[in-house]
């Protein structure tokens, strides 16, 4: 994972004082000093907040040292309203600038950015890159026109997932849960819509969990892996509540007082920052490993559960759409979300999922993105002959794969060749057609899926005791409408059954 928290080596870091030198202006002096602030305690505390680190470093580089930066690292001292106070301080000119996140602007009295936190909408890093580098990013910054703040660019922080004392995998799990809201009206409204109770909390959230006052919090996996393991040991891996995007912000009056050359340097540095954010590495698998070792366990919500959660929060999104000040950005955000719909899920270490198994190897990837459902294909001898595949393994038959919350299960019904169909299985009665022949975990991403056999899952579904092991199968996959197609990707397919014919979604 790329680590970019190295800006301190090139910064003049100081405690922020009201009497700090204002630096150069149009009247001129050789060095411009910008007084910036962040609530995050560093340029890149988790190692994936590439944009703000690149912006600050570029200020010195593009100006050949004629812009210096003084940073207050933990502005607001962890209070629940610290970030909104930061926005106000920039607007009032108490600071030259900083990088508050979009969630902080509404409570500070600035409209137009709520769509970024539209619940369960922006759920992967590709979507965030498309937001900040496209029309949505332009619209976001335009919300600051005619305000005391100039938005120079937007950069990416972490996706936020639910961490909790008890798993939040089903809609009913949210009922009555006291859940941290970080000074955001959208967060509070979404938590209420989900069935929880929003609790305004800052960096004291951990102490409040330990005191029995808080049951969950929206956290990025990087922060959660460092401080949440024993306090909030459950995270719903495939539920992204909302992202954290930060706005590279400067006080408008201060910016306009600068020379054309100085403003040009700042704008160039901001473009570099946004470019670094778009191109950055956002692999959270290392965070998952740290979280796992700290005791965090990952659960997966089923497709039905996610659909029910979306239904619950839809009134929150509808309220954003009904607000003329917020609608324009929401329209652009929805376009991006439609193009990048799948939630990002990092590599989950073996044994760290709900019902995890030591059978999973270290290089197993995250819960596959194949939607829950029942998929079926009918394989005949003619199909095998056309594909040039032997029936020595008993591929003929009507095969069914049931996908449920990251697991799979095979069943089969014999057709014309009993005793040969269904992997040479023999059945005493039609009731035995429901016997699970193989089961385990699905691991993969938007393109690749691995069928990882797991004896514990198989035994739970089939009661087979010492179940027969099956090798892992790796294939490409694509779901178009109700048709699921598997393809050979150059790795051992082993079970050619998957790729002979498309599979129809029947339930």
- DSSP SS3 for 72: strand
pLDDT of residue 263: 97
pLDDT of residue 8: 31
Residue 231 CA to residue 163 CA, distance in Å, equals: 9
Residue 414 CA to residue 399 CA, distance in Å, equals: 9
> How far from chain centre, in Å, is Cα 155?
15
CA separation, residue 307 to residues 66, 313, 320 (Å):
53, 10, 20
pLDDT of residue 84: 97
**In a 10 Å sphere around its CB, with 0-12 CB exposed, 13-18 middle and 19+ buried, how is residue 431 labelled?**
exposed
pLDDT of residue 491: 64
pLDDT of residue 20: 35
pLDDT band at 465 (very low <50, low <70, confident <90, very high): low
> Which range among 85-99, 361-375, 477-491 has the greatest average pLDDT?
85-99
More confident residue, 309 or 444: 309
Which range has the worst mean pLDDT, 134-143, 152-161, 244-253, 461-470? 461-470
CA separation, residue 59 to residues 21, 53, 149 (Å):
17, 10, 19
> What digits encode the pLDDT tens for the residues 199-255?
999 988 988 998 999 999 999 998 766 655 568 989 999 999 999 999 999 999 999
pLDDT of residue 317: 98
Asked whether residue 456 carries a pLDDT value surpassing 80, the answer given is no
Domain at 7-339, CATH class? alpha beta
Q: Is the Cα dihedral 54, 58, 59, 65 positive or negative?
A: positive
Asked whether residue 9 carries a pLDDT value surpassing 70, the answer given is no
Round the average pLDDT of the chain to a whole number and report it. Answer: 86
Asked whether residue 270 carries a pLDDT value surpassing 70, the answer given is yes
pLDDT of residue 306: 93
Q: How big is the CA angle at 214 (ends 44 and 320), to the nearest 5 degrees?
A: 70
pLDDT of residue 228: 56
pLDDT of residue 407: 84
Total length of the chain: 507
**In a 10 Å sphere around its CB, with 0-12 CB exposed, 13-18 middle and 19+ buried, how is residue 180 labelled?**
buried
More confident residue, 344 or 441: 344
> What digits encode the pLDDT tens for the residues 124-139?
999 999 999 999 999 9
Q: What is the mean pLDDT of the segment spanning 324-334?
A: 97
Residue 339: its H or E element? helix 324-339
pLDDT of residue 229: 58
- DSSP SS3 for 257: coil
Residue 374 CA to residue 349 CA, distance in Å, equals: 27
Asked whether residue 318 carries a pLDDT value surpassing 60, the answer given is yes
How many helices (H) and strands (E) the chain has is answered by 16, 18
Asked whether residue 54 carries a pLDDT value surpassing 60, the answer given is yes
Among 7, 98, 99, 3, smallest CA distance to 48 is for 3
Count Cα neighbours of 146 within 13 Å in the Cβ-side half-sphere.
Answer: 3
Q: What is the mean pLDDT of the segment spanning 446-472?
A: 78
- Cα of first residue to Cα of last residue in the chain, in angstroms, is 40
pLDDT of residue 22: 41
258 touches 175 (CB < 8 A)? no
347 touches 286 (CB < 8 A)? no
Which range has the worst mean pLDDT, 215-219, 325-329, 392-396? 392-396
Asked whether residue 13 carries a pLDDT value surpassing 50, the answer given is no
Asked whether residue 356 carries a pLDDT value surpassing 50, the answer given is no
> What digits encode the pLDDT tens for the residues 166-192?
999 999 999 999 999 999 999 999 999
Sketch the domain layout of the chain as residue ranges.
Answer: 7-339, 373-505
């Amino acid at each position: 994972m790329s680590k970019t928290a190295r800006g301190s080596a090139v910064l003049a870091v100081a405690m922020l004082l009201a009497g700090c030198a204002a630096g150069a202006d149009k009247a001129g002096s050789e060095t411009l000093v910008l007084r910036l602030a962040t609530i995050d305690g560093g340029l890149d505390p988790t190692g994936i907040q590439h944009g703000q680190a690149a912006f600050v470093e570029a200020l010195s580089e593009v100006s050949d040292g004629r812009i210096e930066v003084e940073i207050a690292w933990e502005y607001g001292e962890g209070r629940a309203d610290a970030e909104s106070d930061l926005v106000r301080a920039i607007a009032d000119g108490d600071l030259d600038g900083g990088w508050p996140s979009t969630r902080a602007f509404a409570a500070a009295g600035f409209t137009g950015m709520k769509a970024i936190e539209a619940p369960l909408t922006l759920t992967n890093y590709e979507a965030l890159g498309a937001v900040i580098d496209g029309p949505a990013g332009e619209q976001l910054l335009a919300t600051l026109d005619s305000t005391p703040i100039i938005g120079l660019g937007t950069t990416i922080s972490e996706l936020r997932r639910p961490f909790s004392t008890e798993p939040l995998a089903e809609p009913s799990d949210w009922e009555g849960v006291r859940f941290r809201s970080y000074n955001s009206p959208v967060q509070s409204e979404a938590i209420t819509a989900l069935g929880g109770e929003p609790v305004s909390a800052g960096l004291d959230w951990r102490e409040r969990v330990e005191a029995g006052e808080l049951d969950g919090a929206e956290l990025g996996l990087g922060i959660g892996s460092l401080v949440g393991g024993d306090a909030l040991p459950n995270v719903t891996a495939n539920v992204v509540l909302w992202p954290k995007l930060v706005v590279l912000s400067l006080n408008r009056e201060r910016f306009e007082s600068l020379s054309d050359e100085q403003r040009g340097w700042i704008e160039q540095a901001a473009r570099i920052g946004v470019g670094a954010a778009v191109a950055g590495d956002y692999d959270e698998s290392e965070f998952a490993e740290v979280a796992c070792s700290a005791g965090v366990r990952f659960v997966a919500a089923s497709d039905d559960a996610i659909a029910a959660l979306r239904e619950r929060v839809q009134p929150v999104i509808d309220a954003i759409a009904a607000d003329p000040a917020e609608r324009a950005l929401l329209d652009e955000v929805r376009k991006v979300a439609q193009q990048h719909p799948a939630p990002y899920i990092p590599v989950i270490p073996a044994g760290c999922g709900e019902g995890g198994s030591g059978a999973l190897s270290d290089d197993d990837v995250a819960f596959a993105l194949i939607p829950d459902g029942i998929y079926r294909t009918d394989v005949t001898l003619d199909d095998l002959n056309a594909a040039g595949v032997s029936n020595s393994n008993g591929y003929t038959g009507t095969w069914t794969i049931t996908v449920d919350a990251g697991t799979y299960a095979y069943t089969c019904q014999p057709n014309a060749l009993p005793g040969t169909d269904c992997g040479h299985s023999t059945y005493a009665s039609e009731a035995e057609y429901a016997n699970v022949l193989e089961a385990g975990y699905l691991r993969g991403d938007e393109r690749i899926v691995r069928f990882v056999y797991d004896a514990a899952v198989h035994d739970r579904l089939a009661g087979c005791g010492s179940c027969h092991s099956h090798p892992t199968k790796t294939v490409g996959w694509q779901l178009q409408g109700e048709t699921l197609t598997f393809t050979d990707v150059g790795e051992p397919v082993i079970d050619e059954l998957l790729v002979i014919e498309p599979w129809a979604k029947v339930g």
